């Protein structure tokens, strides 16, 4: 029964996550339409992507700090609506400044959503890597569906129909309400604080640098892969849209696979080899001619997303006293670097070619692989609870104690014991 409730909550959170991240994917999906209807150049459309990604990323640690101080579950429905509203307004009016302002509003909504949703999802998952993988899957599906949604709406009636794109936000805001009520019941009795003495800031910094490498590759490809494939496939806009869809859809498979692999091996090992795989697949994307490049788009996407949810929980476990801040940085601040680099890629593409501009992306996953070689798998935080260790499980099963706290809280994927006075769960890892 407990496992059923856990996956019911994760399912709702996953769908809600999709309803938010569809707007991150929508901004990149709108790029070809801004180019054709408004004659924006590469640098101009890079600026639009930058406006959305910068605010959705840089502001996330701010919301993370706030949620470390006080739980703010109401942010989930409000931020979902805000993310949808910004994209809905982006196609109205011909002003470039108004377009930037609209996608910026959407970016703020996305920023407010992720740290608090990561906190709620970690509570609902009770430390399961696989459950967190399913939560991340929702976001990846939202990215994957964005090109189809934009093509179905804007592709048929132009940018004037962007207000229709607010519909997923309305659905997501409603779906998160029962999850928030359940999470509030589980956390209302838990109080306490976690000392910062257990924080491994050096490892967290190296992890953040690796996430930056991933961010530059992903944002660069999500911005330009559609245009690049359009050029390679003889000017077919449909071919470019299909490549963007494959890029996002491959991430869905990667997220689920990452959680399953981490349950078999440790998160650092799985992430390290994923980065190495990504380096080879990006090279193949740029070098292989014809339709075969779609295979390399899919492998690149999977390689980028296998470590995605694992990096979030690693960050939380490296900074157990600042879970919201860690989530805001790994989900947000590091991603902003990708948005900052995107205009540089666009400027280089304007001066040379897209293939030349995208070639440096091959090296960044190699740097991420080298950084992960220096990272330890976080050990379970030392117990300061009066309760003894979890009882031995028959047939090799592992029982893990999970505790959560409000205020300055900690969560961990292995064992979570904090100086709390109430509500402690014992669960069996899948």
Predicted pLDDT at 21: 86
Residue 191 has pLDDT above 60, yes or no: no
**If you average pLDDT over residues 132-153, what whole number do you get?**
83
Predicted pLDDT at 143: 76
pLDDT above 70 coverage of the chain, percent? 81
Tell me how long the chain is. 430
pLDDT in tens, 100-115: 888 888 988 888 888 8
Predicted pLDDT at 127: 67
For every residue of 335-402, DSSP letters joined together read: HHHHHHHHHHHHHHHHHS-HHHHHGGGGHHHHHHHHHHTTPPPPPPPPP-SSS-PPPP-GGG--EEEE
Residue 389 has pLDDT above 70, yes or no: no
Q: How far is CA 212 from CA 236, 312, 327, in A?
A: 32, 13, 14
Question: In the chain, how long is the greatest CA-to-CA distance?
Answer: 68
For every residue of 278-315, DSSP letters joined together read: HHHHHHHHHH--GGGHHHHHHHHHHHHHTTHHHHHHHH
For all residues of the chain together, what is the average pLDDT? 77
pLDDT in tens, 22-35: 888 888 888 888 88
pLDDT in tens, 211-245: 989 988 988 888 888 888 888 877 677 888 888 88
Q: Tokens in use for 128?
A: 């399961």
Cα separation, 33 vs 280, whole angstroms:
31
């Amino acid at each position: 029964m407990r496992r059923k409730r856990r996956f019911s909550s994760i399912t709702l959170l996953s769908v809600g996550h999709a309803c938010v991240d569809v707007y991150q994917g929508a901004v990149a999906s709108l790029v070809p339409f801004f180019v054709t209807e408004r004659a924006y150049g590469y640098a101009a459309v890079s600026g639009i992507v930058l406006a959305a990604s910068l605010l959705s990323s840089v502001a996330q640690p701010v919301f993370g700090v706030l949620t470390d101080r006080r739980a703010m579950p109401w942010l989930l429905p409000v931020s979902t609506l805000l993310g949808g509203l910004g994209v809905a307004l982006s196609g109205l009016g011909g002003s470039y400044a108004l377009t930037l302002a609209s996608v910026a509003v959407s970016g703020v909504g996305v920023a407010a959503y992720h740290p608090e949703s990561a906190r709620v999802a970690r509570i609902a998952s009770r430390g399961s890597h696989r459950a967190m993988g399913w939560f991340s899957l929702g976001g990846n599906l939202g990215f994957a569906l964005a090109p189809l949604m934009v093509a179905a709406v804007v592709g048929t009636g132009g940018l004037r129909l962007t207000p229709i794109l607010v519909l997923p936000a309305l659905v997501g805001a409603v779906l998160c309400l029962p999850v928030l009520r359940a999470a509030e019941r589980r956390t209302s009795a838990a109080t306490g604080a976690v000392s910062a003495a257990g924080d491994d800031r050096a490892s967290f910094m190296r992890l953040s640098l690796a996430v930056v490498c991933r961010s530059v590759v992903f944002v660069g490809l999500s911005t330009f892969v559609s245009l690049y494939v359009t050029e390679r496939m003889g000017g077919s806009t449909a071919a470019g849209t299909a490549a963007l869809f494959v890029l996002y859809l491959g991430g869905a498979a990667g997220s689920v696979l990452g959680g399953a692999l981490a349950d078999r091996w440790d998160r650092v090992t799985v992430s390290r080899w994923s980065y190495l795989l990504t380096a080879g697949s990006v090279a193949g994307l740029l070098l292989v001619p014809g339709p075969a490049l779609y295979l390399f788009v899919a492998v690149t996407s999977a390689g980028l997303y296998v470590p995605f949810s694992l990096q979030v929980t690693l960050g939380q476990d490296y900074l157990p006293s600042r879970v919201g801040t860690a989530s805001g940085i790994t989900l947000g601040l590091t991603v902003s670097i990708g948005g900052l680099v995107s205009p540089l890629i666009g400027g280089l593409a304007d001066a040379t070619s897209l293939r030349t501009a995208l070639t440096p992306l091959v090296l960044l996953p190699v740097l991420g692989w080298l950084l992960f070689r220096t990272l330890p798998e976080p050990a379970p935080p030392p117990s300061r609870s009066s309760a003894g260790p979890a009882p031995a499980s028959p047939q090799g099963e592992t029982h893990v104690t999970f505790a959560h706290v409000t205020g300055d809280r900690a969560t961990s994927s292995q064992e979570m014991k904090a100086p709390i006075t109430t509500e402690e769960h014992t669960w069996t890892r899948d």
